[in-house]
Amino acid sequence: MTRIFLVVATVISAAYALWPLPTDFSTGTAALTLASDFHIDISAIPNPPQDLLDAISRTKGYLQTDQLEALVVDRGASYNQSLQNASSLVSLVLSYDSGVAGEPTSISEEAIDDIDSRVEGYTLTVPEDGSAATIKANSTLGLFRGLTTFGQLWYDLNNTTYTIEAPIAITDSPVFPYRGFMLDTSRNYFPVSDILRTLDAMSWVKMTTFHWHMVDSQSFPLEVPEFPELSLNGAYGPSLVYSTNDVQTIVSYANARGIDVLPEIDTPGHTAIIAQAYPEHVACPGATPWATYANEPPAGQLRFANANTTNFTASLISSVSARFPGKYFSTGGDELNTECYAIDESTQADLNTTGKTLEQALDTFTQTVQSVLEDSGKTPVVWEEMVLDFNLTLSNNTIVMVWISSADAAAVADKGFRLVQAPSDYFYLDCGAGGWVGANPSGNSWCDPFKTWQYAYSFDPVANLTDAQAKLVIGGEHLLWTEQSHASNLDSIVWPRAAASAELFWSGPGGNIKNSVFPDVPRLHDVAFRMTQRGVGAIALQPLWCALRPGVCDLTA
Amino acid sequence: MPLFITAIVLALSAIPCCLSIWPIPRSLDSGNQILKLSGSFDISINFTNPPQDLLDAVTRTKYSIQTDQLGRLTVGRGSSDSTAFGSAKTLRTLMLALEQSASTAQPIATEAVVALDARDEGYSLSVPLDGSAGVVSANTTLGLLRGLSTFEQLWYTYDGTIYTNYAPLTIVNDSPAYAYRGFMLDTARNFFSVSDIKRTLDAMYLVKINTFHWHITDSQSWPIQVVQFPELAQAGAYSTNQSYTPNDIQDVVTYAGERGIDVLVEIDTPGHTAIIGASHPEYVACYLSDWITFAGEPPAGQLRLADASVANFTAAVLAAVAETLPSTMFSTGGDELDTACYAADGPTQMMLNESGRTLFEALDIFTSTTHGALHALGKTAVVWEEMVLEYNTTTLRNDTIVMVWISSDDAAAVVQKGYRIVHAPSNYFYLDCGAGEWIGNDPTGNSWCDPFKTWQESYTFNPLANISSAQVSLVLGGEQLLWTEQSGPENLDSIVWPRAASSAEIFWTGDTLPDGFDRVGNISEALPRLHDVRYRMVQRGIKAIRLQPEWCALRPQVCDG
């Protein structure tokens, strides 16, 4: 794995606020203000896609409304004099590099391209003399990434929008193509507006994948027109459902922001709620004590040894996946409980009839479900147990998510699968919130302690991998399991922490946590404060006293 | 194999009668029948010239009952209750009755700041099944307010009908087991607006918390504008917009008082005062020196306590703030003195040498000066435990209230010295624990008081552990606390609620449930009620978090361990 980390910097710039850090950039020390008639010029782009036009208007909106004061003790007051004399930037010109010809493709189309074919690179220049700034890219998605960077350059002082670091020159592209965030909408329900707000925040730190863990044992909030009973009986309530229109809204919103949606229907475990509509397909529903039959209440798993259940599951996956334009679909596969099947007479009868072991039956089930996906052009995604715990015949194309431990990545790579780093010991955002199971006062979070942004940031995505295996790592993601969260604490649990992996997988590992030139804490403060200005409730990582004094609250201070 | 549906039915049959009240009254007799609330429901007052803040409380209660719109936390959210709506009676009136002569009725805000040992929060409540008037009776308007907060929690809404399923209900002489039930907020590490504080006070009212411990300043910022010392906030607030004007302070105090909440302001001294150096560098030792050597956290800097002019300045600042506050209590802090800071401070060493005093002897004199100023204003001093356990302070008045924070194990030692205590132990009640390290450049660092203190861990706290029966009266109560290195308005509600309700019940209800059973031993009974008050908070605009998947919240005990 190439670890690209080329900082071409000429000044120490504590206020510099780019996140993720561009792979190659330089800045100056000149003040530059944004002209009141500043505009973004796309005259060089014939027939610009609508989602690019929308991205341009959002960018101009942020430039107007961010109103972010520089995170320095005087909040930028001392820049006043130099701003009086500064040049003014009137325009930003977007253009494709010379290689692009014909009708441009949209951000939305490029965002769901094959993950190894996406082009996100761009170059950005902001001259100090007030002549036009430029963003150039080989793709519309690249232009969009450049706009996102441009939006992070500016501060506000008495209604003047400015930078004190002109001229700026950036050449940037990501190290890893998969940079994700996972949200569980089953343990607790999240309104569509919460998801859209989360997608906005993801786009600001250049994430590419919304991994949507839609359903689980506790609720089935997804409307599936072919199987309406699933949400009718399994959602928390009639208004706590993602309708087909809602899904379309979310997918369009994500794609227009450069984000692919990876839907997950977790099977065959984590499916107790299906019993509310289809009791015949579920083994040990509500079995007690739940701790024997499930990792958390309620118990209940699909009867995968049963041919009808297998066909039902394949139809369900087919119905759902057809409504998502992305090429990737997760069938889950984590935490199968074998005790549940041992007491399920129906499963035991099926196994006896077919003469299969549980593992052989799972293999048949998995192959059936995977072939439905592959027949419709989708690439299956699974949790690591499907590779490490069971001997299954999976498509070579399968992408495996490593979650139990970061130490498991090497074993998955040994088997030759591409993998996404989602290790609980670094990227689980729910860890450290204490035990949530009732009547258990001394219970602790199973994955205690809390994973701080800086701990997550220290993750090495290619640890213990050979150079050849490292190529199998397509990226990683932060994850939020929602036993203890919903709309009230979504933003505060996720942001700005999830930005840690966004930078790790864009800029490359081995980042600059101890680098005195571009230390991370002040940049991450900046992201958090800008998110808050944009309506995302990112939390304070430190007292404001520290946020205004870069490095002073470091352990090495 | 048990069917899904069977598990649910079994669980329902185990639900105790009174899910919704938090803290649970010490006396409670309730039925399980439906009583509807009339569309013309009103609350009447049986005495003339009721104080305005009681009238306002009545208005708020009526409004909350109409707007809570809370569906009962059961599968179906109350649909099974609706079958009884047709035959149920309707409640038209709740009457508030003062048991003493009405001429003695004081504003709630007045009674909320009466000295702790004289405060009267008791009330009785009856809600008959037959639709005849409900009654809240009490000796004080403060007691009536507590009765209203109980009454508000009885009501659910299903399909437009407001009803309770606990009729008939009788509560006789419910009163708190402990006089002090608090919540502490640090507004110095990060700033919180007056509206954030008011929203918090609303939630505190709902669970009968009676003290807002306002840790208003610390080393990072000085957000309180003190009229006589304007330079403190001018140089020490994060910005003008991030400071409390005298009007803001009065606004908070009034809002709290109307909700039965006393405001205990703390100006932490002589440590935790680096920010004073921004306006008075001559008063601060090791100002902005290496924090790892000289402070528990950045920035370093403490008042030069051995300097008489610093002691006089400090006393004047404390008095200037305290004299504007109605509370009988004021905290001078006193935690985490860094002795290395003073050892390295030339002026402090010179003054100690000249006076021939040890550091702690100088601290004793400093404290007698600051506390003397408070005593002259009729205030009772409150201090952190180190003032008693570590610094050998000899001049503390006997009536000083000591907050135990370092460990719950320290309570007995403080009580041994004869002081009254407030339980604020980090190992049970610190709401910030478990959020990881916030110091920069420390990827493997953890929260110093890890792990996270869950509501249920807090709930098992025993206020009388290792306290002899003769010393029980020294235990005033307790509080949960939020230090705000890692929080601001964005996560205030989610860190605090519903967890801080845990201590509210410990110190109101005491050891025993109204049915005589041990409260902690029946923690399974508590969670459904806590879910309920949490969902009610959310209906009122407080962003309390989910304690479990909603699947569990609708199925009491099914997700127990």
User: Per-residue DSSP letters for A392-407?
Assistant: ----TT-EEEE-S-GG
pLDDT at A510: 64
Residue A25: count of CB within 10 angstroms of its CB: 21
Q: Which of A85, A78, A82, A59 is nearest to A154 (CA)?
A: A59
Q: Which of B404, B408, B452, B411 is nearest to B431 (CA)?
A: B452
Q: In Å, how far are A72, A88, A129, A533, B432 from A32, measured between CA atoms? A: 18, 6, 8, 22, 41
Instruction: Find tokens 């977007």 and name the residue.
Output: A94
**Residue of chain A with shortest Cα separation from B483:** A543
Smallest Cβ–Cβ distance between A432 and the set B188, B191, B436 belongs to B436
Mean pLDDT of B523-529: 95
Check if B560 contacts A (Cβ < 8 Å): yes
- pLDDT for residue A515 is more than 70: no
Q: Pairing between strand A24-41 and B211-215?
A: unpaired
Q: What is the pLDDT of residues A6-55, one digit of tens each?
A: 333 333 443 478 999 999 999 999 999 999 999 999 999 989 999 999 99
pLDDT at B13: 33
Q: Which residues of B touch A275 (CB under 8 A)?
A: 4
pLDDT at A512: 56
* CB–CB contact B439 A554 (8 Å): yes
Mean pLDDT of A257-265: 98
Shortest distance, CA B106 to any CA of chain A (angstroms): 38
Smallest Cβ–Cβ distance between B560 and the set A286, A439, A448 belongs to A439
pLDDT at B398: 96
Check if B540 contacts A (Cβ < 8 Å): no
Over the range B426-440, which residues count as b (16 or more CB within 10 Å of their CB) and which as e?
bbbbbbbbbbbbbbb
Q: Pairing between strand A473-480 and B134-138?
A: unpaired
Q: Which residues of A touch B538 (CB under 8 A)?
A: 488
pLDDT at B9: 36
Smallest Cβ–Cβ distance between A285 and the set B4, B547, B551 belongs to B4
* CB–CB contact B442 A343 (8 Å): no
Is-cis flag, bond preceding A461, omega within 30?
Answer: no
- pLDDT for residue B484 is more than 50: yes
Q: Which residues of A touch B490 (CB under 8 A)?
A: 491-492, 532, 537-540
* CB–CB contact A438 B548 (8 Å): yes
Shortest distance, CA B248 to any CA of chain A (angstroms): 21
pLDDT at A556: 78
Q: Which residues of A touch B6 (CB under 8 A)?
A: 286
Least confident of A288-297, B5-14, B116-125: B5-14
Interface of B with A in 61-100 (CB under 8 A): 77
Mean pLDDT of A535-543: 97
Is-cis flag, bond preceding A298, omega within 30?
Answer: yes
Over the range B393-422, which residues count as b (16 or more CB within 10 Å of their CB) and which as e?
beebeeebbbbbbbebebbbebbeeebbbb
Shortest distance, CA B297 to any CA of chain A (angstroms): 8
Name the strand (E) or helix (H) holding B42. Answer: strand B29-45
- pLDDT for residue A4 is more than 50: no
Mean pLDDT of A316-320: 98
pLDDT at B533: 97
Quote the CA–CA distance of B197 and B186 in Å, as a whole number.
Answer: 11
Q: In Å, how far are A356, A364, A415, B359 from A389, measured between CA atoms? A: 17, 16, 12, 64
Name the token pair of A46: 């014939």
pLDDT at B100: 74
Q: Pairing between strand A209-215 and A260-265?
A: parallel
Q: How do the residues of chain A divide into helix, strand and coil, expressed in percent and rounded to 5?
A: 35, 20, 45
Shortest distance, CA B164 to any CA of chain A (angstroms): 22
* CB–CB contact A553 B558 (8 Å): no
pTM for this predicted structure: 0.95
Check if A279 contacts B (Cβ < 8 Å): yes
CB A132, CB A150: distance < 8 Å:
no
pLDDT at A519: 65
Least confident of A90-104, A363-377, A513-527: A513-527
Over the range A85-98, which residues count as b (16 or more CB within 10 Å of their CB) and which as e?
ebbebbebbbbbee
For an interface test with A, the pick among B199, B490, B495 (most A C-beta atoms closer than 10 Å) comes out as B490
Quote the CA–CA distance of A455 and A158 in Å, as a whole number.
Answer: 37
Quote the CA–CA distance of A508 and B498 in Å, as a whole number.
Answer: 40
Q: What is the pLDDT of residues B281-308, one digit of tens each?
A: 999 999 999 999 999 999 999 999 999 9
Quote the CA–CA distance of B288 and B299 in Å, as a whole number.
Answer: 6
User: Could you tell me the pLDDT band of residue A551, with boundaries at 50, 70 and 90?
Assistant: confident
Shortest distance, CA A552 to any CA of chain B (angstroms): 8
pLDDT at A101: 64
Quote the CA–CA distance of B259 and B390 in Å, as a whole number.
Answer: 37
Sign (positive/negative) of CA torsion B48, B49, B53, B58? positive
Mean pLDDT of A504-524: 72
Mean pLDDT of A250-264: 98
Using only C-alpha atoms, chain B has a radius of gyration, in whole angstroms, of 25
pLDDT at A413: 98
Shortest distance, CA A13 to any CA of chain B (angstroms): 18
Shortest distance, CA B98 to any CA of chain A (angstroms): 40
At how many degrees (to 10) do helices B523-539 and B194-206 cross?
Answer: 140
Catalytic residues of A: 335
DSSP 8-state assignment for residue A323: T
pLDDT at B4: 39
pLDDT at A17: 84
Cα B432 to its chain centre, rounded Å, is 15
pLDDT at B102: 60
Q: What is the pLDDT of residues B58-97, one digit of tens each?
A: 999 999 999 999 999 999 999 999 999 999 999 999 999 9
User: Could you tell me the pLDDT band of residue A509, with boundaries at 50, 70 and 90?
Assistant: confident
- pLDDT for residue B214 is more than 70: yes
User: Could you tell me the pLDDT band of residue B132, with boundaries at 50, 70 and 90?
Assistant: very high
Smallest Cβ–Cβ distance between A489 and the set B7, B459, B494 belongs to B494
Using only C-alpha atoms, chain A has a radius of gyration, in whole angstroms, of 24
Measured at the CA of A439, the angle between CA A433 and CA A442, to 5 degrees, comes to 50
Q: What is the pLDDT of residues A397-442, one digit of tens each?
A: 999 999 999 999 999 999 999 999 999 999 999 999 999 999 999 9
For an interface test with A, the pick among B196, B218, B441, B527 (most A C-beta atoms closer than 10 Å) comes out as B441
* CB–CB contact B1 A343 (8 Å): yes
Name the strand (E) or helix (H) holding B96. Answer: strand B89-98
pLDDT at A518: 58
pLDDT at B6: 37
Helices and strands (H and E) in chain A: how many: 21, 16
CB B402, CB B385: distance < 8 Å:
yes
**Residue of chain A with shortest Cα separation from B6:** A286
**Which 3-state string (H, E, C) describes A494-541?**
HCCCCHHHHHHHHHCCCCCCCCCCCCHHHHHHHHHHHHHHCCCCCCCC
Q: In Å, how far are A34, B120, B263, B531 from B326, measured between CA atoms? A: 51, 17, 8, 35
Q: In Å, how far are B29, B37, B82, B504, B519 from B513, measured between CA atoms? A: 12, 28, 30, 14, 5
Quote the CA–CA distance of B268 and B317 in Å, as a whole number.
Answer: 11
- pLDDT for residue B123 is more than 90: yes
Mean pLDDT of A289-296: 97
Check if B196 contacts A (Cβ < 8 Å): no
**Residue of chain A with shortest Cα separation from B2:** A287
Q: Which residues of A touch B552 (CB under 8 A)?
A: 218, 297, 438
Q: Which residues of B touch A271 (CB under 8 A)?
A: none
pLDDT at B3: 37
Q: Which of A489, A482, A484 is nearest to A537 (CA)?
A: A489
User: Could you tell me the pLDDT band of residue B238, with boundaries at 50, 70 and 90?
Assistant: very high
Quote the CA–CA distance of A554 and A232 in Å, as a whole number.
Answer: 52
- pLDDT for residue B173 is more than 90: yes
Interface of A with B in 159-178 (CB under 8 A): none
Quote the CA–CA distance of B243 and B275 in Å, as a whole number.
Answer: 14
Count Cβ atoms within 10 A of the Cβ of residue B195 and give its class: 0-12 exposed, 13-18 middle, 19 or more buried.
exposed
CB B557, CB A439: distance < 8 Å:
yes
Name the token pair of B136: 């809240």
pLDDT at B281: 98
**Residue of chain B with shortest Cα separation from A544:** B190
Check if B12 contacts A (Cβ < 8 Å): no
Q: What is the pLDDT of residues B449-470, one digit of tens each?
A: 999 999 999 999 999 999 999 9
Residue B293: count of CB within 10 angstroms of its CB: 12
* CB–CB contact A448 B299 (8 Å): no
**Conformation bin of residue A409: beta by default, left when phi > 0, alpha when psi is -120 to 50:** alpha
Check if B291 contacts A (Cβ < 8 Å): yes
Residue type at A360? Q
Q: Which of A385, A399, A420, A386 is nearest to A329 (CA)?
A: A399
* φ, ψ of residue A90 in degrees (nearest 5): -100, -30
Residue B354: count of CB within 10 angstroms of its CB: 9
DSSP 8-state assignment for residue A222: B
pLDDT at A14: 37
Name the token pair of B77: 């959210």
Name the strand (E) or helix (H) holding A182. Answer: strand A178-184
CB pairs under 8 A between A and B: 265
Q: Which tops the pLDDT comparison, A138 or B392?
A: A138
Instruction: Find tokens 């993602």 and name the residue.
Output: A242
Q: What is the pLDDT of residues B4-60, one digit of tens each?
A: 333 333 333 333 444 689 999 999 999 999 999 999 999 999 999 999 999 999 999
For an interface test with B, the pick among A215, A539, A541, A548 (most B C-beta atoms closer than 10 Å) comes out as A539
Q: Which of B412, B409, B411, B406 is nearest to B426 (CA)?
A: B406
